[in-house]
Amino acid sequence: MKFVAIREFDDYITAHIIMGRLLSEDIVCHLENEYSSTLRPFRSHLFGGIKLMVHEAQAIRAMELLTKWDSERAS
């Protein structure tokens, strides 16, 4: 399976919430660099933060959901 990064986070709480929402929509995903960024938060920029990785075939659907959720949160 090939995974692509679709979003980066500075904190693991937000990353887990978003990942959980995607998983509930049957999107195959996981977090990358979570432990490195959590153990050394002042150096997380060296790893590019916590990356939300989504299966390549589901990336478009995941991006659509993120866009929808972002717009709902903004209103």
The order of strands in the sheet holding 29-32 is 3-9, 50-55, 29-32
Tens of pLDDT along 19-60?
A: 999 999 999 999 998 766 555 555 555 556 899 999 999 999
Longest dimension (CA), the chain: 36
Per the CB < 8 A criterion, the answer to whether 40 and 51 are in contact is no
Cα angle for residues 16, 22, 23 (degrees, 5° grid): 85
pTM: 0.82
Contact 58, 10 (CB under 8 A): no
